[in-house]
Structure 1
Amino acid sequence: MTGEPERSQARIELADLVRLAKLAADAEAELFKRNPQGSGRYAGRLLGRALCQGAALHFIDGTNGVKDFDVWSFYAQHSDWPFPPRWRGTRDFGPSKFGRYLHDPPQYVGRRVDLLGRSLPALLGADPADVLRIYLAGRRTDSAKALAAKAVVLIDPANRAGEVVWPIIDHAS
């Protein structure tokens, strides 16, 4: 045992969210290039990307800690073909203030970034926060239930990076 904590308590900043969005965009571009007639049909249909689950909760509360980063990309669904729901990519966040999760395989120098995607019944150009709140509130799928159990923070579009989508926070109280 190295003495390194399992969860990093380092603060997630805007630059970290931008880095995560780029890692996801690069992985998806590779996916689309490999399969232009399948998943590649979703190029240009991105609604938004979000940091989800434990790391998103850490972004909000600063206490949860980061074991890994879960980044989800959400696309406006084609009527005849969903984004491949079983697709899962991974990337290495690389050397950073977050260190590495000691139980990850040795090829990860930094925290693992898990990349997932879903297509949602929404119009291209719809507000990503609104679409995601409807998806999460409905809790119709195992994925929606799991994401709604913790937190969701937009990382793309870039001008909305850091916007908390879930849980819904009432700023009036």
Structure 2
Amino acid sequence: MAYARGQRSFVRYPGGIEYTRYFTHWFNWAEKPRDSAAGGGSICRMTDERSERSFLPLTHEHLSRLAYFAEVDHQQFRQKHPEWAADLLACCLVQGGARHYVRGDRGVKDLDVYLLYTLPAGRNGGQFPWNRGANTRNRDFGVSELGRQLYTAADRADPKIARKIPAWERYSGRRVDLLSRAIPAHDDGPRAAVEAWLKGATGESTPWDLRRVPVICLYPEFGELWWTGPDLDEPGIEKGVYG
């Protein structure tokens, strides 16, 4: 990933969170609209209240913060697995967060972001080093008006979730889940590659799950709707219930 020379910036988020970073070609923070029909507006009322879901709108500022987490994750992955990280096709908001960003009818429990890499020649997707759910990276979204997640009795009864809840409850904001896959490239570019991956999905697979909801691009086309998903919101239509 190429960094623009000399363009260093300090990005301060609500709640006093400050990140030092370099602008990449992903997007220009200053150029993003703040008043579009889907995702416009700015982060305003901060809260640390817990709820199962926040029904406040997701904004471009929220997407910007997710894009930052994705960029940091990519840099860490590139250091560990340079042979797989040579070509980052796309980063996308998926699952329930994407559904809520588009339609505002599902609420936000946590925020799921996929980093999609070009599948290297001679490899198959099953060989990708972070190809399993066990390799999900959890991050703290930080203070925002989305609040913090309230973990239910059902969550605490699930051994796989319960052992992680003590750490998650220390977060100051919603949980961000970062996941990665390697997919075939497409002659028509990253968006076409993602669409082909989703359209070619079979049951009980990651793309089959993801195609049941919208897909919002964080990179390379920040804030663009790449996949609409179904019109109706049907809990359980994907794996489990929308995340």
Residue identity in the other structure for 2:226: V
**Matched residue SS, 2:107:** coil
Please name the residue that 2:35 is paired with. Answer: none
Q: Which has the larger radius of gyration?
A: 2
- 2:200 is equivalent to residue 138 of structure 1: yes
Give the alignment of 1:110-129 within 5 angstroms. 110-122=173-185, 127-129=189-191
Aligned length: 161
> 5+ unaligned residues in a row in structure 1: which ranges?
none
Q: Kindly, what percent of the aligned residue pairs are identical?
A: 34
- 2:107 is equivalent to residue 65 of structure 1: yes
Please name the residue that 2:94 is paired with. Answer: 52
- Change in 2 beyond 3 A, CA 1:144/1:10: same
Separation of aligned partners in 2, 1:108 and 1:47? 30
1:153 to 216, 222, 234: 216
**Matched residue SS, 1:107:** coil
**Matched residue SS, 1:145:** helix
User: Conserved in 1, the CA contact under 8 Å of 2:212 and 2:229?
Assistant: no
1:18 to 44, 55, 64: 64
Separation of aligned partners in 2, 1:44 and 1:21? 18
User: Conserved in 1, the CA contact under 8 Å of 2:141 and 2:173?
Assistant: yes
1:163 to 224, 227, 231: 224
Residue identity in the other structure for 1:92: D
User: Conserved in 1, the CA contact under 8 Å of 2:137 and 2:178?
Assistant: yes
Shift, 1:93, TM fit:
0.5
- Change in 2 beyond 3 A, CA 1:116/1:45: same
Q: TM-score, normalised by structure 1?
A: 0.83
Please name the residue that 1:5 is paired with. Answer: 51
Shift, 1:3, TM fit:
7.6
Which string of whole-angstrom CA distances, capped at 9 and with x for unpartnered residues, describes residues 75-133 of structure 1? 1111234432123211110111111102253221111100011111115x852221111
Separation of aligned partners in 2, 1:91 and 1:145? 25
Separation of aligned partners in 1, 2:115 and 2:217? 10
Residue identity in the other structure for 1:99: G
User: Conserved in 1, the CA contact under 8 Å of 2:214 and 2:229?
Assistant: no
Q: TM-score, normalised by structure 2?
A: 0.61
How well do the aligned residues superpose, as a CA RMSD in angstroms? 2.2
